Amino acid sequence: MIDLTQPEVKLALQVVQQGADVAQQVRTAMADRNLTKDDLSPVTVADFASQALAARAMQQATPGVALVGEESADELRTDEGAEVRKLVAEFVAKFDADATESSVCDWIDYGTAEPNDCFWTLDPIDGTKGYLRGGQYAVAFALIKNGQVELGALGCPNLGEGCAPDMGKGVTLIAQRGHGSWLSVAGGEFKAIHVSERSNIADARVMRSVEDSHTNASQIDALNAALGVTADPVRMDSQAKYSVLAVGGGDLLFRLLNPGREDYKECIWDQAAGAIILEEAGGRITDLRGKDLDFSQGRKLLKNTGVLASNGVFHDAALAAIADVCTLP
């Protein structure tokens, strides 16, 4: 059983629940307003507000511990960012009366720390396209000590009972190494969860993104054919996929390399929380060569190539199929 009164556990739950709450409030109030990063991926006011609240909670609960986040306040501090800066401060102030435009920027930048021996990592809104379309997304928060994920939480505001991909009342998941994975639906009691025990590969449900452009769709089709998978895929965005895997609603997840991006390395905040939640639920996660994910290399998984996640039963077969179908750098 996980101890929900433990300070680190309480902090993790506060961060993902507040992040989910502010994200939902932002989307309701201004669903069609967003910024654009240099790489043209959408960034919403919710990203900044979620990270600001996480940093504020950390400063109060674990002062001095580093936060490695996805966002910085550089854009918000400019004249061009004034309108968004004002909006972010307004939404954060609904949760913390001390929030000002200046303090919120400072809180966001608290998340620009570099990894060390003990730090938290945050993806304030994982699955921004899912968020903007009103689909699935997640707030992901994890504690990494000496290069290993020790604690992780996911807030998935649009998932429902059983973590089905259809719209629900929201779930929160938390896992601590050695203490299992736990799920709360709509703020209810936390219950232990476990991956599927499905053993017929034809029935394996492969987790896929809503948009095929997010991965190498043709190689996933080839892998399915090589494995003999005939079941329909489960399509959704973000680390919410790990939630579905952890409760047995899916069986395989491939994070392949897109053509022309063979040197791509995963960011730690995109994998840390989901990884420990899946592992503690009895699943398995490695890179595409079968190597454990190495979180000791900074902000990216520099020693890993892609990701394979599974219920454990299908993992070796999937690795063999990857070796046959995919050309890895």
Catalytic residues: 47, 128
DSSP 149-185: EEEEEEEETT--GGG-SS--S-EEEEEETTS-EEEEE
Residue 266, CB half-sphere, CA atoms under 13 Å: how many? 28
Compute the radius of gyration of the chain from its Cα atoms: 19
Residue whose C-alpha is closest to residue 127's, from 251, 210, 55: 210
Q: Which of 55, 94, 83 is nearest to 71 (CA)?
A: 55
CB 171 within 8 A of CB 156: yes
Q: How far is CA 123 from CA 67, 200, 327, in A?
A: 11, 34, 30
Q: Where are the beta strands (DSSP E) in 40-137?
A: 42-43, 66-69, 118-126
Q: Nearest Cα to 207, choosing from 173, 160, 254, 168?
A: 254
Nearest to 246 by CA among 181, 319, 166, 318: 181
Residue 282, sorted as left (phi over 0), alpha (psi -120 to 50) or beta, turns out to be left
User: For the packed helices 7-29 and 45-61, what is the interaxial angle rounded to 10 degrees?
Assistant: 160
Question: CB of 121 within 8 A of CB of 269?
Answer: yes
Where would I find the beta strands (DSSP E) of the chain?
Answer: 35-36, 42-43, 66-69, 118-126, 138-145, 148-156, 171-176, 181-185, 191-192, 206-208, 234-235, 252-255, 284-286, 307-310
